[in-house]
Structure 1
């Protein structure tokens, strides 16, 4: 069973963290959503935080089975899914496999596209590097792409979060991530309202990718947050929380 936080009452929102983070990246939302009348559920994915580590390869299907098991344990049926980066891709995979359990899709700084051959090789090489060298070299390399240099205090928190990640778990997740499918078609067929959020300085999943994704999804709002990179929920939490709660309030309860 995954380690998780479950805070508040009301309609449930499942918060799915990105790589190489853990559920603590949702700290501002774990305060704001219950105050707004929502139940916030934030797990550590397999291989991250305090959840079990499975070395080797963890396919997306295993992550989805873990999330379904958690929701069943908590007696949650249909849920609003909110995911950032890899977490957003897992949200899309969940929707592909279990559309009947999805009330809404909030996709944050993510992309629906499958890997290219080149990016797949790069991701597999990164996984091997994590297994060999641990988290520090990777964390130092990407920290100011994860967080805008305009937000150094947030950067320090995120850097420590990455350094604390279990390297074997992060590597296994990346190998599984390399083989994910393309989600454009399933998003185009979504029957639930969507929200797409992106930071203006995100180099991993830039604004044009977010705009394309929002335009592909029916009944979807695009929110662009200034002076943030890949983690607007931490860099500008008030702006992010307003966008998310307004979206949640718009859903039929």
Structure 2
């Protein structure tokens, strides 16, 4: 049975889904239009027979509060740390996708007492270059285009599905449930707001503000990096460089995935989480 709960951290109500028993595994979702219910259900269901699985909605996403705050990677990590402290949950196997992967790495650096093993999936923070250069900077500064896109997606499941083509390797193979989850999430009144604030905090004319390339030596948790071979947002080369720099790290490239492995190949993600827990 899935427990839908919430805790208050520094004045913000943070919603979470939890189920199972055993070693704690925490799943952090990505950005744009994401939440625990969007990216994680197939992995969540595969892990709960063996583990206690906790999947929070990050600050401003899903059913968590959208408050006046800085939506940077370090700030998200502070909020997640507060959730784990409040729930007395740690040390954990911490799994993070994209933005959530950057939050997971930040948390492992800031609070190593909370992180026993680390599984970043196509994580933010492994490089500074923006994926589309000046266009990415322009879109971060002129946020009206994001608002227009979200308004269009709310009116059309077909457009919502088409928008996922840049995140997956084979759009035709993407389960309908994944599209439905995004389509339902985009209908929330505040959909996209947290991501726009994230871009305000993290995108500069010099590239991404938060990068971990000079802090790899400080990561003490065993780290299993997963990266989609066809990811067009964050290049595989960044993950290869990270695997070489992190003291106890290994990289596994997922040949059939782009940027959304938990939905493209949840079996592989669950197997790698199993392996990370076994090797802890």
Q: TM-score, normalised by structure 1?
A: 0.86
Tell me how far apart the structure 2 counterparts of residues 173 and 141 of structure 1 sit (CA, whole Å): 23
Could you say what the CA RMSD is over the residues aligned between the two structures, in angstroms?
Answer: 2.6
Tell me how far apart the structure 1 counterparts of residues 148 and 273 of structure 2 sit (CA, whole Å): 39
Tell me how far apart the structure 2 counterparts of residues 177 and 87 of structure 1 sit (CA, whole Å): 14
Higher helix proportion: 1
Alignment match, 1:247: 276
User: In the alignment, is the contact (CA less than 8 A) between 1:56 and 1:171 conserved in 2?
Assistant: no
Tell me how far apart the structure 1 counterparts of residues 68 and 196 of structure 2 sit (CA, whole Å): 8
- Where does the alignment leave 5 or more consecutive residues of structure 1 unmatched? none
* Distance change in 2, residues 1:197/1:54 (3 Å): same
Pairing of 1:1-253 with structure 2 (within 5 A): 1-20=13-32, 21-24=34-37, 25-36=39-50, 38-54=51-67, 57-111=70-124, 112-114=126-128, 118=134, 121-122=137-138, 124-125=140-141, 127-131=143-147, 134=150, 136=152, 142-148=163-169, 149-153=171-175, 156-157=179-180, 159-160=182-183, 163-164=186-187, 166-178=191-203, 180-251=209-280
Aligned-partner SS, 1:184: coil
- Where does the alignment leave 5 or more consecutive residues of structure 2 unmatched? 1-12, 154-158
Per-residue CA distance 1:148-193 (angstroms, 9 max, x = gap): 2242435624642563461222211222232642212222322221
Tell me how far apart the structure 2 counterparts of residues 210 and 161 of structure 1 sit (CA, whole Å): 32
Tell me how far apart the structure 2 counterparts of residues 126 and 80 of structure 1 sit (CA, whole Å): 37
Shift of the alpha carbon at 1:126? 6.0
- What is the aligned length? 250
Q: TM-score, normalised by structure 2?
A: 0.78
